[in-house]
Amino acid sequence: MKKLLFGALALGMLAACNTTTESTENTTDDALTSVASRKSCPSEEIRANLLATNPEAKARYSKIESGVDSFIKAKRAGRVNADGSIDIPVVVNVLYKTAAENVSDAKIAEQIAILNADFGGTNTDASKIPTEFSGVKAGDTKVRFHLVNTVRKSTTKTKWGTNDAMKKSTTGGINATSPSSYFNIWVVGNMGGILGYATFPESAGLWNDGVVIAAPYFAATGATAPYNLGRTATHEVGHYLNLRHIWGDATCGSDLVADTPTQTGANYGKPTYPMYNTCGGVSRSVMFMNYMDYVDDAAMFMFSAGQKDRIQATVASAGPRAGLRTY
């Protein structure tokens, strides 16, 4: 059973933050290098710190998870349906020092198209989903994205960290556009070993709510291999819509999704299916091709049905991101 008590989950996430060597969460310029050698997403560590230090955020988190549980139980009992498709309005904030960092309108359109394909289940590589997992694939999550504005700002800053400086004009960034009603993406230059990071729904509507992507890993055209299919954004948007890393950020941890096999940790590169892990005395292949793992972009191509339920609960009319139902 992959469900955990809310308090235990928060503590487990904090422990994972303190013990992991998989992620880089540097906020000083000198500590950052220019190229990511392994996929690194510090979203869970940032969240763990928030929940451990901010009682209001922890209370919002507990309320959200209780709501997700209620939504899923009601849906399975036939008492509630998802509120149809939602078309999320997107604002892309581009902070650039070089021409390469000033991502083009064409690349922004390409990234939006990738998100729509991945969350719509129409990605061409969905055909690679193993038969074992085809019965639990999400298919169409009923979430779509459309661009409403692009904000650009030239900067002299050469490196960015995870301290949200890019999200405030007073620290050289760009203020979010109405984050309760618009999904804000910040595209920045060099973040060293970090590809991107996101806020979870307990931050809905706050000044720093949204997703950050390093320009070398944004969209597909001209992006840096092996993270060059636009899946960094897919992964981070998954966090924004309340999906955890599939391994639960702990050895044999929980992502709060019943149909994703428990696994011993993150996977990297291009694993070969089947890839067996043993957790709780049970050996089975893991779903390394899930967007919420750490494999290369070309090796990830699915969400699960359980993840779809969590996404739908998050954007439902009573969910924490109901404000995105502007259009």
Query: What are the φ and ψ backbone dihedral angles of 249, each rounded to 5 degrees?
Result: 55, 35
Q: At what angle do helices 231-240 and 43-53 cross, to 10 degrees?
A: 20
Q: Which residue has the tokens 């060293």?
A: 192
Active-site entry in 25, 65, 110, 236: 236
Q: Which residue has the tokens 């994205």?
A: 145
Dist CA 211 CA 42 (whole Å): 12
Residue 272: CB atoms within 10 A of its CB come to: 8
Assess whether 44 carries a catalytic annotation. no
Dist CA 191 CA 27 (whole Å): 9
Joined tokens for residue 195: 């590809």
Dist CA 223 CA 241 (whole Å): 24
The angle subtended at Cα 256 by Cα 161 and Cα 26, nearest 5°, is 10
Q: Which residues are catalytic?
A: 236
